[in-house]
Amino acid sequence: MQVDTPRIACSLDQLIAGATHRTAVRTADARSGASFERLSIDGESYFLKILSADTDWIMRVTGNTTNWEFKVWKAGIYQRTPSVVDHAIVGMALEGEGPTARLSMLMTDRSSDLVPPGDDMLPLEHHLGFIDHMATLHASFLGWHDDIGLQDLARRFLFFSPEVIAAELEVDEVPHTVAVADRGWALLAERAPRLNDLVRAIHRDPDQLAEAMRTTPMTFVPGDWKLGNVGRRTDGRTVLLDWAYPGEAPPCWDLTWYLALNRARVPMSKQATIETYRDRLEHHGVDTTGWWERQLGLAFVGMAATFAWEKAVGDHDELAWWESAALAGASWLG
């Protein structure tokens, strides 16, 4: 099935017309509340994701009540993505409106290409390919402006803030990630009080950080470069699934997200990865003179506001690295 323009179906039934061998799938990385199926159409294997803010806690804590992925698809942004990145999407159907709307996303089955679950280190060649293709994507969209209503930059820093996750802590079955975040924020105040003070200040006034970031170049970001969403095709292309937090943001946002969530499996140091990404960005025609250090430092602050809780439940060295990076980055807030 080839897709050159956004294929939008009126319903799930129309989207998967002719499907056979439908099988429910529970992926190792699926923790949000979305449902997944593997199915066949015309003898080819596909993957189906169905989600709604009613049942998907990640959509709720990120503020996604308008189905951003559908907006990106409808606007043709997936189709403008450089060919080195394979998003796998072939069609979508949105039924209903508001938080109760149901979004169905049909993808070519790329499961065999994805990074396997576990703790094994990435092959260096794969890691370098991911970083190069991330830079390629960012360079191709540099200067892009969100005029379709995607993830707000300031709202990114609040994904797991205590105030946002409070409602999710009241449900009958608290999502594991939310429970860990709640415990992590309490630990952060004990283990890294200076970092805690900084991120709580960002939570109270996220617009200050967002405005500082906007003094540096922006691009389109898919938003979730965790390894559970990433893979490598046999021809070397990068598979990048689940563009769950798309929008206008600094290129360094995707980079620092990658560093924060994949640190145990990355075969290079954080600093070496950062230098490699900057080199590839320059290679793809982006002049980083005059703004790089400022944007990177501010991205460290934003990422700490988003994920410092996760570092607080981990080892000392990782927490100390992020504390140092974020506190240094805060100097760019002025």
154 within a domain of the structure (yes/no): yes
64 assigned to some structural domain: yes
Average pLDDT over residues 178-202: 98
Is pLDDT at 228 greater than 70 in this prediction? yes
What backbone torsions phi and psi does residue 178 show, to the nearest 5 degrees? -65, -40
| Residue 131 φ then ψ, to 5° | -65, -40
Q: Is the pLDDT of residue 2 over 50?
A: no
Residue 119: inside a domain: no
Residues facing residue 20 across a β-bridge = 40
pLDDT of residue 26: 78
Mark whether 207 and 144 lie in a shared domain: yes
| CATH number assigned to the domain comprising residue 190 | 3.90.1200
151 and 99 in a common domain: no
Beta strands in 122-169 (DSSP E): none
* Sign (positive or negative) of CA dihedral 44, 246, 240, 175: negative
Question: Given the DSSP bridges, would you call strands 8-9 and 89-95 parallel, antiparallel or unpaired?
Answer: parallel
> Does residue 1 sit within a domain?
no
Residues 149, 107: one domain?
A: no
| CB-based contact 182:169 (threshold 8 Å) | yes
Name which of 2, 4, 1, 17 is nearest 93 in CA terms. 17
Q: Kindly state the percentage of the chain with pLDDT values over 90.
A: 92
pLDDT at 27: 65
Residue 286 maps to a domain: yes
Query: In the chain, how many domains are there?
Result: 2
- Per residue in 155-180, pLDDT tens? 999 999 999 999 999 998 899 999 99
Residue 118 lies in a domain: no
Which residues, 6+ apart, have CB-to-CB distance to 263 below 8 Å?
A: 270, 318
Enclosing domain of residue 140? 124-333
315 and 246 in a common domain: yes
Last residue of a domain, one of 57, 89, 113: 113
Round to whole Å and give the CA distance between 47 and 54. 22
Phi, psi torsion values for 23, nearest 5 degrees: -135, 125
Specify whether 128 is located in the same domain as 102.
no
Q: Is the pLDDT of residue 121 over 90?
A: yes
Q: Is a pLDDT exceeding 70 seen at residue 243?
A: yes
Q: Are residues 155 and 291 in the same domain?
A: yes
What's the pLDDT band for 1 if we cut at 50, 70, 90?
very low
Q: Is residue 315 part of a domain?
A: yes
314 shares its domain with 221: yes
User: Amino acid identity, residue 271?
Assistant: Q
Which residues have CB under 8 Å from 52's CB, separation 6+?
Answer: 59, 99, 100, 101, 102, 103
When pLDDT is averaged across residues 12-22 and rounded to a whole number, the result is 95
Cα separation of 59 and 33, whole Å? Answer: 9
